[in-house]
Amino acid sequence: MFDWLQHFADWLIYTVFKVGAESHLGTALNFFVYDTLKILILLFFVVFIMGIVNAYFPVERLKEYLNKKKLYGLEYFFSSVFGAITPFCSCSSVPLFIGFVQGGIPLGVTFSFLITSPLVNEVALAMFLGMFGVKATLIYAVSGIVLGTIGGWLLGKFNLEPLLSDWVKKILDNKMQHGQYEGVKQTFYQRLPEISRGAWDIVKGVLLYVVIGIAIGAAMHGYVPENFFNTYLGGDQWWTVPLAVLVAVPMYANAAGIVPIIQVFVAKGVPLGTAIAFMMATVGLSIPEATLLKKVMSLKLIAIFFGIVTLCIILSGYLFNLML
Amino acid sequence: MSKVIKILGTGCPKCQSMTGVVQNVISENNIDATIEKVEDIMEIMKYNVMTTPALVIDDVITIKGRVPSKDEVLALLN
């Protein structure tokens, strides 16, 4: 599909700039040009498609749906799926959380949404598609959704309500059914310009991270020796998965910047499962997110939330390494 | 009559770009309006929005969860 892009990159670097195909610099530059263009094209399309999906399934509709239907446990799964298709902005997580709780949705189900939302997002998917291909992307998306489902279900088993902030409890005490969702009456074609503008905005927003991430990745590709990580970082030893996850939890990185670097890790010998677990911990959990959640939960609840999700990510890391 | 515009958001980049768009529209078209940024989460929740940024004009929520275009804001203000 992207052959023409590779030809373009070859032509630009080897013919126009006359950098040798055999040199480190040549390979690195070629890799940089090819990957940046490919990722940007994919990013636009994935975000665009997600935008269309999203216009039809706004989060208010999910709230109403979860509220009205008896789903016999499937609500965790639905909540998780919706988390995946909703565009995530970390600053929206608190209003979303309150909105759900206020609407009478159980805490566990709300957590399912909260876990998957940052984990599986359009930028992460596009980056994965560009760097690891369709199979790895599907594994990432499906496991993210499963992780949210199981994590939320586990958290729902605890008695967590007393651990919310006082003002949130007050909201819980008088749950209201106000604010019925009114769908915007617009035809598909009326929405299209807005959706593509939105997609463009997101691409512009992460452009810098993509370029920096790929630049670092390209540099590492050319200069880090083959099997470097195997030799120096233990490769597939059992403790690499928990270590990678624990290092990644406090870190906050944009999916756009982190995937190209992870791709180099994989190319140089880190198992894909370990890399995916690392990625999940980086985008799914972070100190800034904990700070935001502090407004609605006690530290203890945040610790339980982070603890369970971390555990799930570590377990899935092992699972990927077994499967892949 | 002067309009009261409120921008609800906890200060994320999207909220800032919404503020920028609204400010531009107001100054370019000489619209009589005041902009107020509501950053306190408890205040925001009173409006019952789940996605930020949200644009509130004279206490009516007009846009939520996305950054509008200039034309859109202008249409809403007229």
Q: Interface pTM (ipTM) of the complex?
A: 0.74
Domain contains B78: no
Best of B50, B61, B70 to disrupt the A interface (most A CBs within 10 Å) is: B50
Q: Chain B window 16-75: which residues touch A at a Cβ cutoff of 8 Å?
A: 41-42, 44-45, 48-52, 65-67, 69
Q: Is residue A137 part of a domain?
A: yes
Residue A176 is predicted with a pLDDT of 54
Q: Which residues of chain A have pLDDT under 50?
A: 177-183
Note the pLDDT of residue A181: 45
pLDDT of residue A300: 93
Q: In the numeric block, which tokens belong to residue B16?
A: 């800032």
Chain A residues touching residue B45 (CB < 8 angstroms):
95, 98-99, 102, 171
For residue B76, being part of any structural domain is answered with no
A100 contacts on B by Cβ (under 8 Å): 50
For residue B35, being part of any structural domain is answered with yes
* Per-residue confidence (pLDDT) for residue A254, from 0 to 100: 76
Exposure of A227 in the CB half-sphere (CA atoms within 13 A): 1
For residues A39 and A126, the answer to whether their CB atoms sit within 8 Å is yes
User: How many domains is chain B partitioned into structurally?
Assistant: 1
For the stretch B14-72, pLDDT in tens is 788 889 889 999 999 888 888 988 888 778 877 878 778 889 988 888 888 778 888 88
Residue partners of B68: CB distance under 8 A and separation at least 6? B18, B21, B55, B76
Instruction: State the pLDDT at residue A89.
Output: 65
| Residue A132 Cα to chain centre, angstroms | 15
Q: Classify strands B54-57 and B3-8 as parallel, antiparallel or unpaired.
A: antiparallel
Q: Which residues of A33-64 are buried (b: 16+ CB within 10 A; e: fewer)?
A: bbbbbbbbbbbbebbbbbbeebbeebbbebbb
Q: Supply the pLDDT for residue A141.
A: 92
* pLDDT tens digits along A213-246: 888 887 887 677 777 666 665 556 778 888 888 8
* pLDDT value for A180: 44
CB-based contacts of B14, cutoff 8 Å, min separation 6? A89, A91, B52, B53, B66, B67
Nearest-Cα residue of chain A relative to residue B39: A91
* pLDDT reported for residue A74: 86
- Containing B34, the helix (H) or strand (E) segment is strand B33-38
- Out of B52, B67, B69, the one facing A92 most closely (by C-beta) is B52
Residues of A in Cβ contact (< 8 Å) with B42: 167
* Within a domain: A185: no
* A184 domain-assigned: no
What does residue B4 show for φ and ψ, rounded to 5 degrees? -105, 115
Supply the range of the domain harboring residue A89. Answer: 20-169+190-323
Distance CA A152, CA A78 (A): 11
The structure's pTM equals 0.82
Which residues form the domain of B30?
3-70
Q: What's the domain count of chain A?
A: 1
Q: What is the pLDDT of residues A237-283, one digit of tens each?
A: 778 888 888 888 887 777 788 888 888 888 888 888 888 899 899 88
Residue A5: inside a domain: no
Contacts 24+ apart (CB under 8 A), A47-53: A47/A122, A47/A123, A47/A126, A47/A198, A47/A199, A47/A202, A47/A203, A48/A195, A48/A196, A48/A199, A50/A85, A50/A87, A50/A122, A51/A87, A51/A195, A51/A196, A51/A198, A51/A199, A52/A191, A52/A195, A53/A85
Q: What is the CATH number of the domain that holds B19?
A: 3.40.30.10
Residue B14 near chain A (CB below 8 Å): yes
Question: Of these residues, B8, B15, B25, B73, which one is catalytic?
Answer: B15
> Is B75 within a domain?
no
In this structure, is residue A14 part of a structural domain? Answer: no
